[in-house]
Amino acid sequence: MPLTTVTIMRVGRLALAVVVALTGAITTGSAQELKTWRHGILEAKSDAGFIMMADRGGFAARRGLKIETQQMKAGATVMKALIAGELDSVEMGAAEAIVAGARGADVKIIGCTWPGLPQVVLAKADVKTPQDLKGRTVAISAPGSLPDLLARALLETYKIQDSDVKFANLGADIDRYKALVSGIADAAVVSNEFQPIMPPEFKLLVEARAIVPQFIRLCLTTTGKVLSERRADTVQFLAAQIEALRYATTHRTETAKLTREATGAKADDPRPEFIFDQAVNDKQVDPTLAIPAERIDWMQAQFVKTGVIPKTVETARIIDTDVRAKASALVGK
């Protein structure tokens, strides 16, 4: 019996429906096969294009993982969530991870993403030199944090007593920057992302890398428990991070675009491109995730010196180089 036009159309619609249904099933199945990985970071800033690329760029999904990124305001909160088992990993200050490990917490640094320092000290125009900080208020963060240690290293470098300066513990970068702009503080240790938008009456007093070049900014950290229970997944997670950073550091437009999506920055906001150029040109980001043990040793010594920790511990106790080595072998050169 010959097929009519109506019959052909019906068959076509049926075939299309079957294809759509099968495609949906395949997509759903693939999504269900992804393993959830809970990852904590500090609130998205102008470096978010680098930090979120593994998740938003699809690199983790290709490694069989679905990253659930949780943003938090303070480094201490992120570390507490990791130790409590609420997260599988975090990307946060190396300082917090080192201090927690030295104090006996079950944490392991598994790769360092930002060994370079983008932090700066911004100040009022009348603070012409670090010596002018005497009798002034400097906005920092919690004891042992990068802002705290940078401020104290700055004073030591210029032979200024801590007692000659008033410290204001004001949490996140944005809080410290607002304190400076509002007049609560005379100087503030902040991310360099505020440089291109700061009012003309403020100035760059000093760059962190000139004061503490050994200091490590951000590392990926997990716990011994996660490594014991999900070691293979941790390797895949690090492989995704390596691939994501390789891409991010070589794709300026895409990385800046992701930053804007993550932070809600407007098209005329100069910060995403500013941070990208600084990070790449100064080699602040390391796609290999190398763990500089000698710099961790140096940081521990500084923490003891400032009374943050009572004594140093063997760096081998707070790092795990095996998962990074396996991840590197997995992605190749």
**Which residues, including other chains, have CB under 8 Å from residue 319's CB and lie 6 or more apart?**
108, 109, 110, 291, 293, 296
Averaged confidence pLDDT in the chain? 89
Quote the distance between the C-alpha of residue 17 and its chain's center: 45
Per-residue tokens: 281: 């040109």
CA dihedral 281, 94, 37, 279 (to 10 degrees): -10
- Inform me whether the pLDDT recorded for 1 exceeds 70: no
More confident residue, 202 or 22: 202
Angstrom distance (rounded) from CA 71 to CA 145: 18
Note the pLDDT of residue 26: 34
Question: Which residue ranges form the domains of the chain, and what is each CATH number?
Answer: 35-116+216-331 (3.40.190.10), 119-211 (3.40.190.10)
Judge whether 260 and 269 are in contact, CB under 8 Å. yes
Note the pLDDT of residue 38: 98
User: What's the pLDDT tens digit per position in 29-87?
Assistant: 344 599 999 999 988 999 999 999 999 999 999 999 999 999 987 778 899 999 999 99
- Inform me whether the pLDDT recorded for 8 exceeds 60: no
E strand spans, the chain: 35-42, 65-72, 89-93, 107-114, 119-124, 137-140, 166-169, 187-191, 202-207, 218-223
- Inform me whether the pLDDT recorded for 258 exceeds 70: yes
CB atoms within 10 A of CB 104: 10
**Which residues, including other chains, have CB under 8 Å from residue 207's CB and lie 6 or more apart?**
117, 119, 120, 192
Per-residue tokens: 177: 């920057």
User: What's the pLDDT tens digit per position in 116-158?
Assistant: 999 999 999 999 999 999 999 999 988 777 788 889 889 988 9
Cα angle vertex 266, ends 264, 268, to 5°? 155
Q: How confident is the model at residue 7 (pLDDT cuts 50, 70, 90)?
A: very low
Angstrom distance (rounded) from CA 88 to CA 220: 10
- Inform me whether the pLDDT recorded for 18 exceeds 50: no
Note the pLDDT of residue 32: 56
Per-residue tokens: 140: 């920092």
Angstrom distance (rounded) from CA 6 to CA 12: 10
CA dihedral 120, 124, 130, 136 (to 10 degrees): -110
- Inform me whether the pLDDT recorded for 11 exceeds 80: no
User: What's the pLDDT tens digit per position in 93-122?
Assistant: 898 999 999 999 999 999 999 999 999 999
Angstrom distance (rounded) from CA 21 to CA 150: 58
Per-residue tokens: 294: 């000698």
